[in-house]
Amino acid sequence: MDGDPAVEPEIDGFSRILPLPYRVALIIVLGIWAWGLNLHYLSLIKIDVPSLIRYPSRTSPRHLPHHLSCYRIASFLSIPLVLSLLLFWTLTHGSPKDIAAWEILPNLYLLVLVVGFIVPLPFVSRNGRSRTLATLKRISIGGIAEAQDGKFGDILLADALTSYAKVLGDLFVSLCMFFSSSHSSTGPPNRNCGGAFWVPFIIAIPSMIRLRQCITEYYRVQNANKRTGSISATTGWGGVHLANALKYSTAFPVIILSALQRSPDPSVFGVSEATLFRMWLAAVFVNSGYSFYWDVARDWDLTLFSSTRERDNTEYPWGLRRHRWFHVKEFYYAAIVVDALLRCTWSLKLSVHLDHFNDLEGGIFTMEVLEVLRRWIWIFFRVETEWVRNHRGPALDDILLGDVGVGNKYDDSD
């Protein structure tokens, strides 16, 4: 739909090259490529990701490995995206008027993206597609499967959605602008489209999903303990799930305070603009710090934040753990550093008021891409940790992976 001619000339240089709908599409496709790389590398080091997430196994040797199927889907989505971009650039030449006139092109690709995911494709496993859609449907309301039915897969997918929180907000903005009579979806992003409430709410949905999953797990543990009449030695009383729920709840103050700062007159809420900013900064610090701690100490089982005695254990490198699958300890240290840096930028990214200025659009897109990178790295170590938990057995000392049919040893050396 046509945008307002008086507004379109103000479009920033980055949005002339990559309008908002294309940016959303690029990050979604990038995430699919990243997941394929996760599956590929982990399969090379003999970590069976499909078995961990209870994904349908290949019924015939003729079927492609899971990572190749993922690459094929990503390729199918990438080719029309590249062609659409090239055609858009050819037709518009950076002209604001032409960019607004041809907004149908990126939105048509978004339609292809949705249809390609929902409609069965000949090269996509029917069982795999059904399983993926069923998982999305379950977690979309905060549901979570039992462990034997693929709980770990639900957690991975729901956590990935938290990394796409702002992308989901941008998708809503793009569609809202497309169906608006006063804005073009390829023009300057109007993140107040649809009102001041909707974008912050959509950004908060992934954290709401994970929060509900954590509460569900807590009640499962409580009910199991009631049935047995004692506290389980493996799951405890469920406090870890409450602590995890608290972690996801720390995202809400960042989003709410950011939305308040974006209001025309923040002081109308009885708090000065400077105080509101300091409150928001404190919320960002809590969210970043808590999330980083959880990534390292809980999701990756590393001892960086453990007691001095455990952290300095001479049986394994400082701050790591005894049983490790990746052979180079520097991988773990690099992941810790990258996660710390990108956790901070991602908390800032949740702040909708920072994208109020058009000249920051390139920076916003960069932060979204960096969050996909952070999640990609996180998945490697989260899956590796889950594999170690499931295959080290009851004995924690000197277990050979060959004993469980993997054909390798835990890396206990420096």
Q: In the prediction, which pLDDT does 59 show?
A: 61
Domain-embedded: residue 411: no
Domain-embedded: residue 363: yes
Residue 7 to residues 12, 171, 212, 214, 259: CA-CA distances in angstroms? 11, 21, 41, 45, 23
Residue written as token pair 């949740």: 350
Q: In the prediction, which pLDDT does 350 show?
A: 58
Work out how many domains the chain is built from and give that number: 1
- Residue 36 and residue 70 in contact, taking contact as beta carbons nearer than 8 Å: yes
Cα gap 21→106, rounded to integer Å: 6
Q: In the prediction, which pLDDT does 411 show?
A: 42
- Residue 51 and residue 404 in contact, taking contact as beta carbons nearer than 8 Å: no
Q: In the prediction, which pLDDT does 172 show?
A: 93
Domain-embedded: residue 241: yes
Cα gap 251→165, rounded to integer Å: 11
Domain-embedded: residue 357: yes
Domain-embedded: residue 106: yes
Domain-embedded: residue 348: yes
Residue 171 to residues 19, 239, 283: CA-CA distances in angstroms? 12, 36, 25
Q: What is the pLDDT along the chain (414 residues), one digit of tens a residue?
A: 444 444 444 788 888 999 999 999 999 999 999 999 999 999 999 999 999 998 877 666 677 888 898 999 899 899 999 999 999 999 999 899 999 999 999 999 998 888 777 766 665 666 667 788 889 999 998 999 998 888 999 999 999 999 999 999 999 999 999 988 777 888 888 888 877 889 999 999 999 999 999 999 999 999 988 888 888 777 788 899 999 999 999 999 999 998 888 776 666 667 788 888 889 889 999 999 999 999 999 999 999 998 888 888 888 999 999 999 998 999 999 999 999 999 877 666 556 555 544 347 888 898 899 999 999 999 999 999 999 999 874 333 333 333 333 333 334 333
- Residue 121 lies in domain: 14-56+64-391
- Residue 236: beta bridge partners? 232
Cα gap 49→328, rounded to integer Å: 20
Domain-embedded: residue 75: yes
Closest-CA residue to 4 (of 238, 187, 250): 187
Domain-embedded: residue 178: yes
